[in-house]
Structure 1
Amino acid sequence: MNSNFVRHSRKGFTLVELLVVIAIIGVLVGLLLPAVQAAREAARRMSCSNNFKQIGLGLHNYHSAFAQFPQQMGGTYCCTGAGAQGDNSYLLSWLVGILPQIEQQGLWEQISNPLALNGDGSAKSPPYQAMGPVPWDTNYTPWRTTVGTFRCPSDPTIGTAGQTGLNNYSACIGDSIQTTHTGGINNDGTVADAGAKSRQRGVFESHFSTRFRDILDGTSNTIACGEIVTDAGNLEINSQPKMNQRDPFFFDPELCYRDNVDPARPQFWLDGNETGAADQRRGKRWADGRPMFTSVNTVRPPNKESCLWGGDGSDGTYTMGSRHQGGCHILMADGAVKFITDSIESGNQNRATLPKAGQPGEKSPYGLWGALGTKAGKETESLE
């Protein structure tokens, strides 16, 4: 008797083979994930640079239309006391002025005309004046609006509902500390310190307007604006300022850092003392023209600390910084956007026995970094 046996084979993976494949996939994912993350950050950094380029075009278009740059700390003033009659006490930032030049005409129309609505939608009687109230008024809808072009995609900080809008780009006011918060001008337009204007050596000057003709060092060698980090409340030195530092801080800009930084974590403050309220920190009010919120100077290198002589309306070191690894973007006066590393040469940071930093007529004490921040210092340094 013949028996025919048909042998059927069943194809498949053994358990060992399956585990090997899973292990290989895991290794590949581990190798590729950093590259993916790096590619995402590169895309965010490019988007940030594009935002800055758009702002630069807005500045140039504004100058073409009005033969000057938008004023840092401009607006309206009526009576004694900040916002006494609904005015903004000459405290509006340069960012308000360029809104129409960066395709924000709708927001500009709200600001430049009387507005009869509060932020919660209720009626406002009498209406807000044209150009709005003081920039910390959270009942005013435009000040609560965050403009996408003013935000860097690499900065994850999210604004608090009902609070003022955030910002990552600020105007360069030079390499000086003293009186750059007012330019020596009172909020009613009267002169408080006649010598203060000469200490404002940047493209932007608080309470004054500047033109291309004022940039004697050349627009390609002079910083117009710089990137800043929006504070997230984490005691980071590049976003959460130290206030009430007083003298001899003016004479020795590094003193604030040495006295207050955590030696074990040098990118953080040792404690939260003198760091201001949550809305008194970097990048918290894009419409506020006071240096704390929308200005930078070239005293301390990028991603170092910001320190103030007094409160949020006083002068100090307003330092550039970013969430990008190793540096930050700057916008040159000719419209070019460049990336500056934290290690840029910044001169003598300890001037304890010298005059106050950034005085009229002196060569910038802060090396290449300081020279880039001045518009008419006759320095020959450039980034090329």
Structure 2
Amino acid sequence: MRRQQTMSSDRFRSLGFTLVELLVVIAIIGVLVGLLLPAVQAAREAARRMSCGNNVKQLGLGMHNYHSAFNQLPIHGVGPTNETTNDTSLADDNTGNAFTRLELSYLVGLLPYVEQQALWEKVSNPMVEEDGDIWPAFGPRPWNGNYPPWATEVPTFRCPSDPGVGVPALGRTNYAACTGDSFYESEHGVTVWNGTRWLYEKDSLAMRRARCGLRGTFVTRKSMRFRDITDGLSNTIAAGEIMSGLGDRDKRTIGFTNGKGGFFQIANNPKRCDDLGYVDPLRPMFLTSAANVYGAISERGFRWADFHTLQSQMNTILPPNSEICLVGHSDTYGVAPPSSRHAGGVHILMADGATKFISDSIEAGNPQTPCVYCEALGGRTDSPTPVGSQSPFGLWGALGTRASQETIEDAF
């Protein structure tokens, strides 16, 4: 009887796995996971990239539908304002007297054309909240996080590959309006505050600066039409992808300034910020701690409703995924390339509605060539690059201009 039990026990043990066999199986599974995980991650990023491209396409359709309805593109730098004061604190008033200071981006006007009719209804009508805040139609300036629409995340305005979320941002965006291959004066455009009142395309200096240097599809605070794009809708960029900041000093998202010298140092050398040597040699996409940057609220794409350069503008001066270089604080103009979390390039929306993926290595001329600008301050006048020139920034710059008569021959 005992012998029979022993034989049964030996037979039972022979059907199991030894410790060595288990370790071998686990090792094989680990190797397979190690081989498959990158493929799975790549497939997920491919899906996110496709979704991001679809968002860009949706914005293009929205722009064309908007143009069909109003015979113009949505204005970048718009909104009801106070004609007797431009005070920022009064613009944030919560008793019903707030105003936008003409700071709303092109994305606000696109809301009902990208399936955001409910949000548009909130924005375009007065609002009285339970806590007693009273907001006029189109609300306060887009810095104000107490106004619910400005803090709303709009899925169409977000690229799934961008992980940015939450404060200190309000509603983030990953898609910016293209203002061309220069930047003077993209913060004021054709409408300026003269100290006592707004001048709507009535200031001769502002108009000359805009005609000279704002050469893209969008001109700040000006009504633009497809007829203005004489280079051809299929050859002109309307908008581009941008990363939103993560608070990590990424040179593509932070409000980095050129230090002393102001406008001329950047306008005459778009690589000024890089030349200062503040890029970390061990991490070339990041700035060192010595770089002159602004606070946490001053990063790329933090406010979709805000028209300022850092928030919702891009230009075709430096190639995609290059560094940002601003003239001054976070509300000033400067070099602001598109950027993305995708490998190798960015999504671009052409004015005809087509979506392109542009490589970081696109031909972009000499990055130290002066931008086109006119009638600058400090006793100096025009740029060393003559007014009306073809873009000095190669194929990339040519794609950003609407009426410079460049011939686009290369594939992009």
> Residues 71 and 359 from structure 1, CA distance in 2 versus in 1: closer, same or farther, beyond 3 angstroms?
farther
When residues 12 and 81 of structure 1 are mapped into structure 2, their CA distance, relative to the original with a 3 A threshold, is same
Counterpart-to-counterpart distance in 1, 2:39 and 2:137: 50
Give the equivalent residue in structure 2 for 1:361: 388
1:347–1:367 Cα contact (<8 Å) kept: yes
* Contact kept? 1:180, 1:315, Cα under 8 Å: yes
Deviates more, 1:82-91 or 1:313-322: 82-91
| 1:372 partner amino acid | L
Q: Does the alignment pair 1:212 with 2:239?
A: no
Which amino acid in 1 is paired with 2:149? P
* 1:129–1:27 distance in 2 versus 1, CA, 3 Å: same
Give 1:271 shift: 2.1
Aligned residues: 376
**CA–CA distance in structure 1, aligned partners of residues 4 and 105 of structure 2:** 94
**Who is 1:252 aligned against?**
269
- For 2:28, the equivalent position in structure 1 comes to 24
Gap change, CA 1:320 and 1:272, over 3 Å in 2: farther
The C-alpha deviation readout for 1:345-367, integer Å capped at 9, x for no partner, is: 11011126997487631010100
Q: 1:15 to 1:61 in 2, by over 3 A?
A: same
Shift of 1:262: 2.1
Structure 1 unmatched ranges of 5 or more: none
TM-score scaled by structure 2? 0.86
CA contact (8 A) 1:309 1:315 kept: yes
Q: Is the 8 A contact 1:250 1:357 kept in 2?
A: no
More helix by percentage: 2
- Measured in 2, the distance between the counterparts of 1:133 and 1:376 equals 35
AA in 2 matched with 1:145: T
**Cα offsets for 1:11-39 (capped at 9, x unmatched):** 23233322222211111111001001111
Amino acid at match of 1:107: L
- Alignment equivalent of 1:296, drawn from 314, 321, 324: 314
Gap regions ≥5 residues in structure 2: 91-96, 373-381
* Ranges of 4+ aligned residues in structure 1 off by more than 6 Å: 3-6, 352-355
2:209 corresponds, among 196, 213, 233, to 196
State the partner residue of 1:323: 341
Say if 2:194 is the partner of 1:181: no
Decide whether the 8 Å contact of 1:177 with 1:358 is kept in 2.
Answer: no
3-state SS of the aligned residue for 1:278? coil
Deviates more, 1:40-49 or 1:269-278: 269-278
Q: TM-score w.r.t. structure 1 length?
A: 0.92
Percent identical among aligned pairs is 48
Give 1:82 deviation, angstroms.
3.9
1:106 corresponds to 2:123: no
Equivalent position of 1:51 in the other structure: 55
Instruction: Find the counterpart in structure 2 of residue 86 from structure 1.
Output: 98
Residues 180-204 of structure 1 show CA distances to partners (whole Å, capped at 9, x for unaligned) of 2211421423425231221211111
- How does 1:1-384 map onto structure 2 within 5 Å? 8=8, 9-10=11-12, 11-78=15-82, 79-82=84-87, 84=90, 85-117=97-129, 121-124=130-133, 127-160=134-167, 164-187=170-193, 188-190=198-200, 191=203, 192-198=205-211, 199-243=213-257, 245=259, 246=262, 247-259=264-276, 260-271=278-289, 273-351=291-369, 356=383, 360-381=387-408, 383=411
Shift of 1:206: 0.3
Is contact 2:189–2:219 with CA below 8 Å preserved after alignment?
A: yes
